[in-house]
Amino acid sequence: MRELFHPNIDQLCLSAILNALGDPIRLQIIKTLAHQCETTCGCCNINLPKSALSHHFKILRESGLIHVRIEGKQRFLSIRYDELEKRFPGLLSTIIKSI
């Protein structure tokens, strides 16, 4: 299996992050993840086809908002709090408070 792309901290781009958060489904995913340390893709409780959810997870991952860890057939999602806070202090906490 190929390794998933996760941008380095210096590759995080504010416009990509804001673009990723411009979709209500992706905002809902971030809201769900904000209350959990790490969860599987299925625990987001969003009623969409698997392919659509995978697309949203990919956008969030490639923008640098989330980290996806693969273990067997499961994919575990978590928000990249530390990296985002270092690169854009206060951004993520402000967004999470507003949703």
Confirm whether 59 is domain-assigned: yes
pLDDT attached to residue 45: 78
pLDDT band at 1 (very low <50, low <70, confident <90, very high): low
pLDDT attached to residue 37: 84
Asked which of 38-42, 49-53, 55-59, 64-68 is least confident by mean pLDDT, the reply is 38-42
Confirm whether 7 is domain-assigned: no
CATH of the domain at 89: 1.10.10.10
Confirm whether 22 is domain-assigned: no
Statement: residue 2 has pLDDT above 80 = no
What is the count of structural domains for the chain?
1
Determine the structural domain holding residue 77 and report its residue range: 28-98
At residue 60, the 3 state secondary structure works out as helix
pLDDT attached to residue 42: 79
What are the φ and ψ backbone dihedral angles of 8, each rounded to 5 degrees?
-70, 165
Confirm whether 53 is domain-assigned: yes
Confirm whether 11 is domain-assigned: no
Q: What is the mean pLDDT of the chain?
A: 92
Rounded-to-integer distance, Cα 86 and Cα 84, Å: 5
pLDDT in tens, 6-49: 999 999 999 999 999 999 999 999 999 998 889 888 777 788 99
Of 41 and 94, the structure prediction assigns the larger pLDDT to: 94
Rounded-to-integer distance, Cα 93 and Cα 69, Å: 23
